[in-house]
């Protein structure tokens, strides 16, 4: 599904070069839930942003379903982000002037769905995260957990093949965090979605199939199903 070969991301030049990623290589199979872990500054968020086509790699090759997406022009990357990839931001990244439904609805509209279908899709996605009754509220009228669930609804409404989540529980308490992770798990089980999640919480690995750990921009471990609840 995802093949990453020798991915590098450097910031700055010369002596000031910071190697955020320094030659990362791995594969993720379809339907896997993968956690990317590591200390702060290890390169996990950088890796996720490159995988989600929000940033460019300095070097390396990155393919999704056989398509080398790292070299796609911006217009195609935009289309790919819209149709194939869902991204959940750590700080929700909702549009404050749009209601919960509109934050979700806008993507379906962009995909070319009718107004009615888009709205139904949005309500369906909000129902999945338990927020159907709050569809008309704007982000300022929602709690942190609710905002994050709207962000997840936005990411899953279009049923993307791959869902990327950057510390989706960073601003949530344990109860809300569990709710979010349960949603991920359910999506994975029901729709076979591939989920790649950056986290620093050790207990989150209960919900994943595999843990890739980074340190100073390189992979120091890649463990499968060790601590998965089903194992």
Partner 1 sequence: MINDIKVGALIAYCSIKRGNKKTLAFIVFVLSLIFLNLVFLPSMIGGLSGMFTGFMQDYPYGDIVIEPGGDNTYINNADNVLQIVRAVNGVRAATKRLDAAASIEHKQKVVGSTITGILPAEEYDISRYPYIISEGDFLGELSRDEIIIGAMLVEGYFGSEIYDNLGQVREGSLVDVTYSNGVKRTYKVKGIMEGTFEVVDLNALVHYKEIEDVYGLNGTEATRVVVRINKQGTEDIVKEKIISAGVKEPAFTWADKSDKILRQAMQSIGAINVMSKFVSLVVGAALILIIIYINVLNRKKEIGILKAVGITPGSIVLSYAFLSMFYVLMGIFVGLILYFTLMLYFQANPFRMYESIKIRPEIDYLFLIQNILTMLVLSVIAGILPAWMVSKESILKAIWGR
List interacting residues with partner 1 (CB under 8 A): 49, 52, 54-55, 74-75, 78-83, 85, 87, 89, 93-99, 102, 105-107, 109-112, 115, 138, 154-155
CA 54/CA 52 separation, integer angstroms: 6
In the bound complex, what is the minimum distance in angstroms from residue 77's beta carbon to partner 1? Answer: 9
CA 231/CA 225 separation, integer angstroms: 7
Closer by beta carbon to partner 1, 75 or else 231: 75
In the bound complex, what is the minimum distance in angstroms from residue 41's beta carbon to partner 1? Answer: 14
112: alpha, beta or left, given left = phi > 0 and alpha = psi -120 to 50?
A: left
Closer by beta carbon to partner 1, 62 or else 89: 89
∠ CA(92), CA(53), CA(204), 5° rounding?
Answer: 50
Closer by beta carbon to partner 1, 39 or else 95: 95
Cβ within 8 Å of residue 101, ≥6 positions away: 119, 122, 123, 126, 135, 136
CA 1/CA 229 separation, integer angstroms: 24
Closer by beta carbon to partner 1, 59 or else 223: 59
In the bound complex, what is the minimum distance in angstroms from residue 168's beta carbon to partner 1? Answer: 15
Q: Are 73 and 149 in contact (CB under 8 A)?
A: no
In the bound complex, what is the minimum distance in angstroms from residue 112's beta carbon to partner 1? Answer: 5
Closer by beta carbon to partner 1, 61 or else 109: 109
In the bound complex, what is the minimum distance in angstroms from residue 118's beta carbon to partner 1? Answer: 9
Closer by beta carbon to partner 1, 105 or else 207: 105
Q: Are 132 and 162 in contact (CB under 8 A)?
A: no
In the bound complex, what is the minimum distance in angstroms from residue 227's beta carbon to partner 1? Answer: 31
CA 226/CA 205 separation, integer angstroms: 9
């Amino acid at each position: 599904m995802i093949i990453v070969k020798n991915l590098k991301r450097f910031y700055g030049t010369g002596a000031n070069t910071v190697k955020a990623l320094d030659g990362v290589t791995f594969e993720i199979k379809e339907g896997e839930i993968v956690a990317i872990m590591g200390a702060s500054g290890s390169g996990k968020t950088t890796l996720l942003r490159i995988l989600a086509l929000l940033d460019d790699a300095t070097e390396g090759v990155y393919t999704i379903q056989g398509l080398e997406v790292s070299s796609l022009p911006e217009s195609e990357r935009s289309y790919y982000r819209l149709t194939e990839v869902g991204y959940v931001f750590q700080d929700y990244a909702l549009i404050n002037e749009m209601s919960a439904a509109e934050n979700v609805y806008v993507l379906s509209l962009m995909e070319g769905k009718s107004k009615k279908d888009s709205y139904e899709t949005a309500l369906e996605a909000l129902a999945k995260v338990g927020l159907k009754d709050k569809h008309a509220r704007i982000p300022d009228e929602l709690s942190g957990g609710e905002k994050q669930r709207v962000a997840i609804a936005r990411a899953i409404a279009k049923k993307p093949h791959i869902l990327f989540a950057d510390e989706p529980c960073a601003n949530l308490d344990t109860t809300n965090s569990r709710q979010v992770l349960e949603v991920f798990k359910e999506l994975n089980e029901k729709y076979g979605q591939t989920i790649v999640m950056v986290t620093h919480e050790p207990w989150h690995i209960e919900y994943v199939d595999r843990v890739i750990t980074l340190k100073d921009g390189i992979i120091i471990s890649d463990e499968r199903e060790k601590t998965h609840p089903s194992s």
